[in-house]
Structure 1
Amino acid sequence: MTTLLGLIASGIFLTRLIPQPVQLFRTRDTAGVSPLAALNATIAAVAWLIRGLEEHQPVVWIVSLAALVPSLITVGLLARKTTMSDLGWAATWALLLTGLWLGGALAVGLAAGVLVTQGPQVRKALQEEDLSGLTPATWWLSVLDATTWGVYGLALGDAALLSYFIVLLTCSIVVLLRLRFLNSRQVSRLHVP
């Protein structure tokens, strides 16, 4: 049963990664999209790949390997918008994870990892008025992704996956509420005589 649940969670996770790079490629609109979040997500995919291999969890390492494709595409599509600050913070994240891995505490970094990968996008969503480059589909799929990995983590007793569930669900709800707020404000402006 846990294998099936892991496969379903993996499929949902990978599906979640598709809408944003597709929209970026199609529209070239990067407004509201965080390059730092994309960089950090790519680094986290590598870290999850390593953890999955070390823990002999094929469901984790295979999906992490596959996640590198859309993650790297997203990073590439955001390259012109990426700042030196973004690169510096991403390098710091990579060095921290490397240190934790070498110290045998990679799970600790991964537990915080979802906050590091999603936090910059949440911050950008809360600060900016134009989120036209951000696709809501990614965030609705994130709710489903968080929930399925949370159930899988509960079945395995995996604290890192349970942390992933809590933080990703919270971040997804914040971004979706912000998108809804900005959309409703934009619609109300259209109706003002």
Structure 2
Amino acid sequence: MTPAGSGPGAPDAGELVFRGRDRYRPSPAHLALVLLVPAVEAAATIRGLGLTGALWLAGGTFAFIGLGLALARRSFSAVGPGGITVCWGFGRGRTHPWQEIRWIDVRTTKAEGGTASQVRMFLADGRRRALPGLADSPLYPSPDFEEQYRRILARWELSTEESGRVRPRRQLRDRIPPTVAGYLVALVLVPLGTLVFLLTR
């Protein structure tokens, strides 16, 4: 957590601000892995797509990964008197007033080498929103995660009536780890991208 800053997309001063750029700092090993994925992809597809096609596919994968990392670093959650502002890297984010927030909890799932935890909120219309910058995982550990969560929970309880707090029912997607969800998306996007490329050659 850091004090509020200035400039485009910055929250107002006096809020509790949790920035992605303070958490998502890839190590040299992580950066090497990011470079390795497109290289392996290119080597695996060069026979079917040719050198040019394999390089385009690898370049697209690298750009997709780079965009994801850039947005993660620009993301933030800001907890203030008016509610919680969530920004996933685009613009100034969206503020959800306290009266719209029915519940706040932590989603914990199994991850490689341990567990991953993410603070999330449930809105009155049934939607749920993860809070960027408020997570703990083996890849990006957050030693003060529990303290951060308690501070947000205390602010929410002070800003809402007990009658307006409703615990949501557990759903299937609550049991799917984020890493598994990411693998499923990749399994769909990569073959789809390859098919589109082959059909448009």
Both structures adopt the same fold (TM-score exceeding 0.5): no
Structure number with higher strand proportion: 2
- Structure possessing the higher relative contact order (Cα contacts under 8 Å, 6 or more residues apart): 1
